[in-house]
Amino acid sequence: MSLALHIARRYLFSKKRVGAINLISAITAAGVMVGTAALICILSVYNGFGDVVESMYSKFDPQIKITATRGKTISLTDPAVEKARENESVAFWCPVVEEQVLFRFGERQTTGYIKGVSEDFNRMAHLERILLYNDKFLLSDGVFNYGIAGVGLAAELGFVAHLTQSLKIYAPRRIGNINIANPANSFNEKYVFISALFSVQQAEYDNSLLLVPLSLARELYEYDDDVATAIEVGLKSQSNISKTKQQLQETLGDDFVVQDRWQQQADYFRIMQVEKWITFLILTFILLIAVANVIGCLSMLIIDKSDDIKTLHNLGASEQLTRRIFLFEGWLISLTGALAGVFLGSTLCLLQQAFGFITIPSADLTVMEAYPVSLQFTDVVLSLLTVCLMGFVAAYIPARKISLRSLEQAQQS
- By three-state DSSP, how is residue 70 classified? coil
The tally of domains found in the chain comes to 2
Are 118 and 94 a contacting pair, CB within 8 Å? yes
What integer is the mean pLDDT of 238-263? 90
* 37 and 173 fall within a common domain: no
- Whole-number Å distance between alpha carbons of 355 and 351: 6
The model's pLDDT over 143-177, given as tens digits with 9 standing for 90+, comes to 889 999 999 999 999 998 888 889 999 998 877 66
Choose one of 261, 276, 300: the last residue of a domain. 261
State how far the Cα of 23 lies from the Cα of 13, in Å rounded to an integer.
13
Mark whether 87 and 110 lie in a shared domain: yes
From 229, 261, 293, the end of a domain falls on 261
Residues 241 and 355 grouped into a single domain: no
Is the domain of 91 the same as that of 52?
no
The verdict on 41 and 88 lying in the same domain is no
Amino acid at 23: L
Q: Clarify whether residues 185 and 310 are in a common domain.
A: no
Q: Is the pLDDT of residue 413 over 50?
A: no
Q: Do residues 291 and 361 share a domain?
A: yes
Cα pseudo-dihedral 344, 346, 349, 355, rounded to 10: -80
Q: Are residues 243 and 322 in the same domain?
A: no
* Residue 257 vs residue 322, higher pLDDT: 257
pTM above the 0.75 mark?
A: no
Quick: pLDDT tens for 214-224: 999 999 999 99
- pLDDT of 94-103, one tens digit each? 999 999 999 9
Which residues make beta-bridge pairs with 64? 233, 260
Domain extent for 248: 64-261
Residues 278 and 369 in one domain: yes
Q: Which of 241, 261, 281 is the last residue of a domain?
A: 261
Residues 8 and 69 in one domain: no
Quote the radius of gyration of the chain (alpha carbons, Å): 32
The dihedral built from the CA positions of residue 160, 166, 170 and 173, taken in this order, carries a sign that is positive
- Span 55-85, pLDDT tens digits: 766 677 888 999 999 888 999 999 999 999 9
Instruction: Give yes or no: residues 52 and 77 share one domain.
Output: no
Is residue 251 located within the same domain as residue 308?
Answer: no
Grade residue 355 by pLDDT with cuts at 50, 70 and 90.
confident
**CB atoms inside a 10 Å sphere around CB 118:** 17
**Strands of 4-144, DSSP E:** 64-68, 74-75, 90-105, 108-117, 131-132
